[in-house]
Structures are given as structure tokens and as C-alpha cells.
Chain A
Amino acid sequence: MNGLRVAAAIGQPVLVLALSPLLVGMMRQIRARLEGRAGSGIGQPWRDLRKLMRKQPVAPRGTGQVYRTAPLLLLATTLVVSVASPFIATGSLLDPIGDLFAVIALLTLGTVALALAGLDTGTAFGGMGASRETTIVALVEPTLLVAVFALSVRVGSTNLGAIVTSTLQDPARVFSPVSLLAAVALGVAIIAETGRLPVDNPSTHLELTMIHEAMVLEYAGPDLAVIELASAMRLTVFLGLLANLFLPWGIATSGNPLLILGAAAAFVAKVAVLGAVLAAGEVFLAKLRLFRVPELLAGSFVLGLLAVAASFSLA
């Protein structure tokens, strides 16, 4: 079991780190093809990162330590989450922090670091992005936690490994109304958290609609590279969590190297499919007005609450 844990602790962050820019590239490529463009290929995000890393770092006058460390903190929280989550193995070296609440709170900590950095620049755009992002975070939190609640009630634990193991042992649960409702609620929350359409448009630079991009507008060079990488990793981590919480099959439960390789392949396939669905869906969606977003989140919150109610009446 220990071999499995060590393999997961090293393999998961490396896998997430290496594949997340490719995931973003693939999503952009799918979008481009569906819109009738040629696209720049799935390796483009990696090429962008390499270019940014070679540039000279800059320190805008009037910014402080918070602005410098925020990208690193964002990356660090995502790394910790990618070690603690059950992506390719059910056990984790960091099992006592592989808890759904802890993982969500850690990812929120990364967002908060960026919001503070946005405010630290003292520009109107930085403040605007920070204000919008924290508003959305505040509204997403109830949905996320209620969906977590629905998932953990039937298992009796909020530990990620325990939830995944329990689903493996009792596959019929996946197709219960509780799971489906919770999956939809969690899916909407994840779209909002990762700043995808219809909540935020990741490819816009139009000032009235920017949320995430407005916050990081001042960053350049290696700092920007770290943020881009960490954002891509957050997307991968969220999609991976969504995949493995509801469809954990393929995940390694013992230290057999072949099983671990298979689990890694299964994880990549699941995240790729989810990413492709998300990218294809985005082609048909327009961005919502900021003040319509709460309605979307309220809807997903109700779904989460229904999931909890269903888990009680079916228990």
C-alpha cells in the first residue's frame, strides 16, 4: 500500500502538471475546429509558457510582496491538492488532508491570493477583477459544500479516498438520483470556480466582461507563466475530482505497476472527455451578465439541496 501512496504522491502532481497545458490546448483546438478555424495545435499553451518563462521578470512600481508571492501560492495550493486527491490511487500520502472541505478551502485560498494581488496593483482593472471574482467565490461556496454534503452523507465521511472506495464497492449508487443531482450541482459550481463559459470567458480581454483576466492583467513574464500554468492545473484538478467522485473506475487500489499505469491512462481519458464536452458546450453558449450568474448558482444550489433531501429519503 505504501508503494501505491508514494507512486500517487509523485505521479499525480507530475501528471497534472504535464497534462494540464495540453488539456487547455485541446479545449482551444476543439473550439477552433467547431468554429471553423484551423487552431494553433494542442501544444500551443506549452509553447506560450516556454516563451513567457524566458522573458525578464518585472516589478511594477507600487506593488508589494503580496503581488509577488500570489502566483507561487496559487501554484502551491494546486500542487498540494493534486497530491492529496484520489486521481490515480485511492490512498494518499497526505490522507489526513485529503478531505473534501480541505481541498475546496485550499483551492479557494489560491483564488484569494490572486484577488489580493489584483487589489495590490491599485489599478481599476485589478480591483474590478478581484471584486467580481470574490463575489462569485462567495456564491459558489454554498453550492459546492451542499453537493459535498450530499456525497458524504451516504458514505459517512468527507474523506476523498473513502468516498471513492465506497463508490467502487457499490457501483449502483452512481446511478441514484442523489449522485446525478449532486453531479450536476457540482458541475455548475466547477464551471464557475474555473472561470469557464457561461460564467467567465477565458479568452476575452474586453474590459466589461473580464473577471479572471482583469485580476491578472498586470502580470507578465515568468509570473504570468506561473499563473497560466496554475490555472490550467486547477481546471484539471477540478475535472479530475468531478470524474473520480462519480466515476472512479480504473483507479488503482493496489501497488501493481501495471494497475498504476492503467489508472493514469484512465484518469487522462476521463479528464480529456470531460474537457472535450466542456469545450464543445462552450461553443454554443454566450457569457451570462455578471448579475445573472447568481441565478445560475442559485439553481445549482437548489439541485444540491434536492440531492441532500433525496439522500435522506432514500437512506
Chain B
Amino acid sequence: MNLLTVALTTAIGVGSLAAVLGLLSPRRVRATAVGVGTALCGAAATVAGVAAIGGQHATLELPGLLPLAGVSITADPVAGVFVAVTGGVAIAAGIYGIGYSRHGLDGRGVQAAFPLFIVSMLLVPVAASVGTFLLCWELMALTSLLLVVAEHRQRPEVASAGRWYAVMTHLGLVAILSGLLLLTAHAGSDSFPALRQAARHLSPTMRGVVFVLVLIGFASKAGIVPLHAWLPRAHPEAPSHVSALMSAAMVNLGLYGIIRVGFDLLGGGTRWWWLLVLALGAVSAIYGILQAAISTDVKTLLGYSTTENMGLVLVGVGAAGIFASAGSPVLAGLAVTAALLHVINHAAFKTLLFLAAGSVLHATGTRDLDRLGGLRTTMPATTAAFGLGALVASALPPGAAFISEWLLLQALIHGLPSAGMATAIAMPLAVAAVALTAGLAVATFVKAFGVGFLARPRSPRARDAVESPASMITGMAVAAAGCVALALLPTLLLPGLGKVGAVLMGGPSAVAAGPITLRLVGVAGSLSPLMLTAALLVGLVLAAAAVRILASWRVRRQTRLWDCGAGPLSARMEYTATSFAEPLQRVFDDVLQAEQDVDVTHVTESRYLVQAVEYHRRVPDRVERRLYEPVLRFTAAWGRAGRRLAPGGVHRYLGYGFYSLLALLLLLVVTR
């Protein structure tokens, strides 16, 4: 009984207990009981995850729990990373949920599904057999679906989002199921060690087929383009603490699946797998952030940003695979360490951003950036939280995401001389993709923070906003503390992550970190996040002191805004999110293909005088239009055609049954 076993069991026990409390406790205390239980479950899970990263192992076999397959659980360092991330997000989301659930979200079903969703996410990475894995995966999909549709009575869009999510997550499950069953059929047993053995004797073609199948399933869970269509629908419509869990914890498990099956079970594979992964990642990163940059709905924007960040992680994973197949495990370890660090950083800042967006939604009832603004005076805590999250999300120093992107770029830069022509073309393009993504992320989050929270309110609801209750602010504070700790002291975390990368890639640990500076092993490179922040602070203090001493000592005078001497401004004259993103939309028009039209109504007496001008702009998701709509149209046409087979007569249906049976029997006769 080591710490890992105790903590993991506690987490799952407390989480299940919270689910039971959600069903049984009276409405008055329900949200509090579930929230506290979830936070405790998350805390225990974080401890378990850290213990697993530290090198502890735990195995649990419960053959009687599930008929035929049984349940088998193994926690190793790779699983530990994802358990710890889910646990950390659960702490913040659980505390936040206490206050957030008071308005119509404290029904029995929702409150019971919430802790159950977290427990299933904790079980997915520690599952050690195909049966257990798929069971937890499906439990995770179903509980999250229940949570997504929690508010379907209030808003009709929720139901549509739920349908998209349900269909796509299950198509993904079908792909994963087929891939893993194909592998299991060759292994004779569904336990992961048996699969590892079997994969060694598989033909390369067969392994490729298995990999592509599971890649499709896991990429759809991670919101990778072109399988992302559910993500910008489901994440905004879910309650905000659920959005945080889905965006910061659930999508990670798609990446976990790719890492587990690709590197661990299939043992690395060939280069084209990872070139495919790298390409998917780069396309997702650019497409995701481009859609986020022009989005005006704050939660949709955050959803697309999730696609972007998962794309960046996939770039790291793909690069790791390429380096491993080229025979340089050190670089592969570095790339995979960068990817894992980015998973952790993304979880921290995306939790913070979704919780802050939820707080805004709670206070103003709108997610539309064009109607927000001026929240810094009425909601200072939420503004500070979103500002911190936005700084980290734009990958600028001193934020945490800067460090993981720096590591990723280091891996890509040092990877160039190592391998052949394909790598030489892929790496610079990957660097350019990461760079473009970073640039657009800056524009996106300047827009989200500057338009949403600064300037003046653009609607009465934004003007009358009031700060959220203490529990929600505490939840945000937990996430913010995580962001700050990750930004200042990644040196405490990185040696552990480096070992995880080393375990996966079979080389030495790629990162050595002293207390202040982190250094790369095997290639030249060092960075000190703590020194960077300290230098910035010292610079700021020096600048402030110098201005204080040298400038005029008179007090600041309140004046009205100059604005070129024009009259008092109304809020309608401010730049909105739409107008802010207009130059970017025009620059990338070939990709985005926005639809806009201007309707001018003339005065009846003279067509030189204008009565009203109406401007409409819509930016449809182009991948969706090109890829999904034809499939949906075809399916609908197929369904309509099939309807003629079912006119409603019972005789006809009995006849169908009879003839099907007959055909089956004939088939058996012919083939046997």
C-alpha cells in the first residue's frame, strides 16, 4: 500500500460518494456537498498523480467486477501526468461549482453526473486493459453529455450542441473500438502488456491501420481539425465549470490515448505516422486560433483556443515520434516533455479563463464580447483572473505557456540536422506554424480581454454587472495560483516530466533543472523563468521610481478624454470585438471566407438619402461546410429514401424479418 494506491483509491471513493450525495442530499446543501466532495476528490487525485510522476507504481486487479473482461488498473508515470491535471482542474471547478450551481443547476441528475464525470476521467488514464479503458471512456462520454445538455430547457441551442457531441463522440468510440479490437484479436488477451507483446509481431501495415483508427477516435476527442466540429458547439453551451473540465481535462485524454497507443502499446512505429500527427497538429493550431481570433462569443473563442493548444501539443508529440524513428531519443524526450508541459499549462490557464468567462456570464447573462466592456470597475476579481489567463494564453513571458512553447521550439530547432529531407521540410514549417499561432494568440487574447473587460460597457447588462459570490472567486483563485506557480517554478516540475518523457522514449531525461534555471540535456539551451519575472519586476520598479523622481510632482488631474477634441463619446463609438478582428479577417479571407452583406434602405423621396444601413457578417466554419454538410445531406437523403421501406404496415415488417432470416440461412448454407 504505497501513497499512490491510497490517494487514488481515496479520490475514486470520495468522488463516488459525492455522486451519491448529489442524488440523495436535499437541495439546500446539495451543491455545497457535491462541490466540497469534488474538490477533495481532485486534491487526492493530484497527490496520486504527483506520486505516480515521482516513480511510484500501483496495480489493481478486480476480475469479478466486470463479466468476461474484469477490471484492471495500473498507474504509471504517464498516467500520473493526466491524473494530476484532471485532479487539479477538479479542485478549482468543484469549489467554483458551489456558487455557480445555485441558479438552476442544482438538480439531482446534474449534481450526481458532475463528480462521476471526474471519476471516469481519473480512471481512463489508469485503465490497463481494453475492456476497462473502453468502459471508462464511454462513462466519461455519457456523463459529460449529460452535463452538456444540463441547460437544454433554458436555451434551444444546447440540444443541438448535445446532438453534435453525442454523435461525434460515439463515432470516435467506434473508431477506437475497431482499432483496439483489431489489436486484441492478435493478442489473445485484452490486457495492455499482452497487447505490447502482440504489437511486436504485427506486420507494419496492420500496425499502421490500428494507429490510424485510434488516431481518428482520439483526435476527435481532442478537438483536432477536421474532427473538431463538436468542440466549439459543446464547450460554450455547457455550464462554465463543466466547460472548464471538458476543455482543460477531458480533451487531454485524447492526447493521452495517442501517446499511450502510439508510443507505448505499438512501440513507436514508422515516420509517416508522426508526420501525419505533426501535420494535423499544425493545421489544428492555425485553424483553431484563426477561428478564435474572429470569434465574438467569449466561450466559443475559448473553445477554438482549445483546438489550437491541442494542436500545439500534437506538434510536440509528432516531432517526438519523428525524432524517435530517426534514432535520437534525447530530442524525442525533449519534444514529448514540452508537449506534456503544455498540456499542464493549458489546463491551468484554460480552467481560469473558462471560470472567469462563466463569472461574466453569471453576472451579465451574455457571452457576446460586442455587448460587454467596462467590467474592470464592477468585477475587479473576475477581470484580474481573466487578465492573468489571457496573458498566459498569449504565450508571452512571464506566463507559463511561454515556457512550454519555448521548449517546443527548442526541440524543433535542434531537430533539423538529425534526419532526412522530410524532416528538413517539416521542421521549419512547424516552427512557422507555431510562430503564426503565437502571433494570432496575442491578437485573440488582446481582443478578448481588451474588448470584454476594459473600456466602457457596451450594454446596460454589462454596466449593471455585480461581482460573483465568494465560492466562485475562490475557484478562480485556485486556478490563478496554479498559473502563477507554473510560471515561476516550472523548474520543480520539469525534472519529473523529463523522466516521464525518458520512460516513453527510452532515452535519458531531456531537461535538467536547478532551482532557478532550467537547462536542456544533450543540446544547448537554458532559460530561467524566475529570473525573467524578477528582471521584469525590477525594471518596472526602476521605471516607476525614475518617473516619480524626474517627472512633475503635481497630482494627476482628472480630465475628459481628448479624442481629437470631438464631443463626448457614446459607448457605440467604441471599437467592438468584430471591428477589432476585421483587419485579420480581411488578411485571412481566403481561409475564412466570411459572408457579409450590407442592406441600404433609401428614403422614398430620394435615393441619394439613406434611411437605414444594415450590416450582417457571418463566418461559417469552412471545414464544417466542406466536409460535414455533404455527409449530413447524404445521410438525410439516404434516410428519406429508406423511409419508403417503412410505410407502417405490421405485415411488411414481419415479412422483412422473415426474409432476412431466410437470407442469413441461405448465406450460411452457401458459405459452409
Instruction: For the complex formed, measure the closest distance between the CB of A243 and the CB atoms of chain B, giving whole angstroms.
Output: 23
Within 8 A of B (CB), among A248-297: 290-291, 294
Name A128's closest neighbour in chain B (CB-CB): B575
Are A120 and B539 closer than 8 Å at their CB atoms? no
B 546-588 binary contact with A (CB < 8 Å = 1; else 0): 0100111011111111111000010101110001111110110
Across-interface contacts of A146 in B (CB, < 8 A): 428, 431-432, 435
Question: Which of B432, B446, B564, B582 is packed against the most chain A CB atoms within 10 Å?
Answer: B446
Instruction: For the complex formed, measure the closest distance between the CB of A293 and the CB atoms of chain B, giving whole angstroms.
Output: 9
Task: Tell yes or no: B414 within 8 A of A by CB.
Answer: yes
Across-interface contacts of B394 in A (CB, < 8 A): 112
Are B564 and A125 closer than 8 Å at their CB atoms? yes
Dominant secondary structure at the B interface: helix
Taken together as a complex, chains A and B put the C-alpha atoms of A74 and B370 apart, in Å, by 28
Partner of B531, one of A63, A97, A105: A97
Name A149's closest neighbour in chain B (CB-CB): B431
Task: Tell yes or no: B521 within 8 A of A by CB.
Answer: no
Are A119 and B561 closer than 8 Å at their CB atoms? no
Across-interface contacts of B543 in A (CB, < 8 A): 72, 75-76, 79, 226
Task: Tell yes or no: B647 within 8 A of A by CB.
Answer: no
Instruction: For the complex formed, measure the closest distance between the CB of B264 and the CB atoms of chain A, giving whole angstroms.
Output: 31
Instruction: For the complex formed, measure the closest distance between the CB of B450 and the CB atoms of chain A, giving whole angstroms.
Output: 3
Instruction: For the complex formed, measure the closest distance between the CB of B626 and the CB atoms of chain A, giving whole angstroms.
Output: 24
Instruction: For the complex formed, measure the closest distance between the CB of B527 and the CB atoms of chain A, giving whole angstroms.
Output: 6
Instruction: For the complex formed, measure the closest distance between the CB of A103 and the CB atoms of chain B, giving whole angstroms.
Output: 10
Supposing A60-B559, A222-B551 touch, asked if A141 and B587 sit within 8 A by C-beta, the answer is no
Are B443 and A138 closer than 8 Å at their CB atoms? yes
Are A217 and B564 closer than 8 Å at their CB atoms? yes
Instruction: For the complex formed, measure the closest distance between the CB of A11 and the CB atoms of chain B, giving whole angstroms.
Output: 16
Partner of A96, one of B455, B524, B526: B526
Taken together as a complex, chains A and B put the C-alpha atoms of A157 and B413 apart, in Å, by 8
Supposing A142-B432, A217-B562 touch, asked if A116 and B539 sit within 8 A by C-beta, the answer is no
Across-interface contacts of A10 in B (CB, < 8 A): none
Across-interface contacts of A309 in B (CB, < 8 A): 424, 428
Are B397 and A105 closer than 8 Å at their CB atoms? yes
Taken together as a complex, chains A and B put the C-alpha atoms of A82 and B454 apart, in Å, by 31
Supposing A122-B456, A149-B431 touch, asked if A96 and B542 sit within 8 A by C-beta, the answer is no
Within 8 A of A (CB), among B519-541: 523-528, 531-532, 535-536, 539-540
Instruction: For the complex formed, measure the closest distance between the CB of A177 and the CB atoms of chain B, giving whole angstroms.
Output: 15
Task: Tell yes or no: B406 within 8 A of A by CB.
Answer: yes
Within 8 A of A (CB), among B429-448: 429, 431-432, 434-436, 438-440, 442-443, 446-447
Are A72 and B540 closer than 8 Å at their CB atoms? yes
Partner of A130, one of B571, B573, B575: B575
Interface window among A23-31, A33-41, A49-57, A196-204: A49-57
Task: Tell yes or no: B417 within 8 A of A by CB.
Answer: yes
Seen from chain A, the residues whose Cβ lies within 8 Å of a Cβ on chain B are 53-66, 69, 72-73, 75-77, 79-80, 83-84, 94-97, 99, 101-102, 105-106, 108-109, 112, 115-116, 119-128, 130-132, 134-135, 137-142, 144-146, 149, 152-153, 156-159, 162, 207, 217-218, 220-222, 225-226, 290-291, 294, 301, 305, 308-309, 311-312, 315
Across-interface contacts of B540 in A (CB, < 8 A): 69, 72-73, 76
Taken together as a complex, chains A and B put the C-alpha atoms of A311 and B409 apart, in Å, by 17
Partner of A144, one of B396, B406, B435, B442: B435
Across-interface contacts of B108 in A (CB, < 8 A): none
Supposing A60-B562, A222-B552 touch, asked if A96 and B431 sit within 8 A by C-beta, the answer is no
A69-B540, A315-B417 given. 4 additional CB < 8 A pairs?
A61-B559, A62-B561, A159-B525, A220-B562
Supposing A115-B450, A116-B454, A217-B562 touch, asked if A159 and B524 sit within 8 A by C-beta, the answer is yes
Partner of A156, one of B414, B562, B571: B414
Across-interface contacts of A134 in B (CB, < 8 A): 442-443, 446-447, 580
> Could you name 29 residue pairs across A and B whose Cβ atoms are closer than 8 Å?
A54-B551, A57-B554, A57-B555, A66-B454, A69-B540, A75-B543, A77-B539, A80-B532, A96-B528, A105-B395, A108-B442, A120-B454, A120-B455, A123-B569, A125-B563, A127-B579, A131-B583, A138-B293, A139-B439, A141-B435, A142-B435, A156-B414, A156-B523, A158-B413, A159-B525, A221-B551, A222-B551, A291-B583, A305-B432
Are A119 and B451 closer than 8 Å at their CB atoms? yes
Are B527 and A96 closer than 8 Å at their CB atoms? yes
Are B587 and A135 closer than 8 Å at their CB atoms? yes
Across-interface contacts of A135 in B (CB, < 8 A): 443, 583-584, 587
Instruction: For the complex formed, measure the closest distance between the CB of B18 and the CB atoms of chain A, giving whole angstroms.
Output: 40
Task: Tell yes or no: B165 within 8 A of A by CB.
Answer: no
Taken together as a complex, chains A and B put the C-alpha atoms of A109 and B394 apart, in Å, by 10
Q: How many A-B residue pairs have CB under 8 A?
A: 262
Partner of A157, one of B402, B517, B525: B525
Supposing A105-B396, A116-B454 touch, asked if A60 and B561 sit within 8 A by C-beta, the answer is yes
Are B417 and A153 closer than 8 Å at their CB atoms? yes
Task: Tell yes or no: B416 within 8 A of A by CB.
Answer: yes
Instruction: For the complex formed, measure the closest distance between the CB of B290 and the CB atoms of chain A, giving whole angstroms.
Output: 10
Across-interface contacts of B82 in A (CB, < 8 A): none
Across-interface contacts of B582 in A (CB, < 8 A): 131
Across-interface contacts of B573 in A (CB, < 8 A): 123-124
Taken together as a complex, chains A and B put the C-alpha atoms of A69 and B579 apart, in Å, by 25
Task: Tell yes or no: B211 within 8 A of A by CB.
Answer: no
Task: Tell yes or no: B376 within 8 A of A by CB.
Answer: yes
Are B542 and A291 closer than 8 Å at their CB atoms? no
Across-interface contacts of B429 in A (CB, < 8 A): 305
Across-interface contacts of B558 in A (CB, < 8 A): 58-61
Supposing A73-B540, A120-B454 touch, asked if A301 and B525 sit within 8 A by C-beta, the answer is no
Across-interface contacts of B295 in A (CB, < 8 A): none
Within 8 A of A (CB), among B402-436: 402, 406, 409-410, 413-414, 416-417, 424, 428-429, 431-432, 434-436
Task: Tell yes or no: B377 within 8 A of A by CB.
Answer: yes
Taken together as a complex, chains A and B put the C-alpha atoms of A62 and B542 apart, in Å, by 27
Supposing A146-B428, A294-B587 touch, asked if A158 and B410 sit within 8 A by C-beta, the answer is yes
Supposing A60-B560, A119-B575, A305-B432 touch, asked if A102 and B446 sit within 8 A by C-beta, the answer is no
Taken together as a complex, chains A and B put the C-alpha atoms of A63 and B581 apart, in Å, by 22
Across-interface contacts of A226 in B (CB, < 8 A): 543, 547
Are A72 and B438 closer than 8 Å at their CB atoms? no
Task: Tell yes or no: B544 within 8 A of A by CB.
Answer: yes
Are B455 and A121 closer than 8 Å at their CB atoms? yes
Name A83's closest neighbour in chain B (CB-CB): B535
Taken together as a complex, chains A and B put the C-alpha atoms of A97 and B442 apart, in Å, by 21
Task: Tell yes or no: B449 within 8 A of A by CB.
Answer: yes
Across-interface contacts of B377 in A (CB, < 8 A): 64
Name A101's closest neighbour in chain B (CB-CB): B406
Are A80 and B536 closer than 8 Å at their CB atoms? yes
Name A225's closest neighbour in chain B (CB-CB): B551
Are B535 and A94 closer than 8 Å at their CB atoms? yes
Taken together as a complex, chains A and B put the C-alpha atoms of A76 and B109 apart, in Å, by 52
Nearest 6 CB-CB pairings of A with B: A127-B575, A141-B439, A76-B539, A119-B450, A122-B455, A96-B528
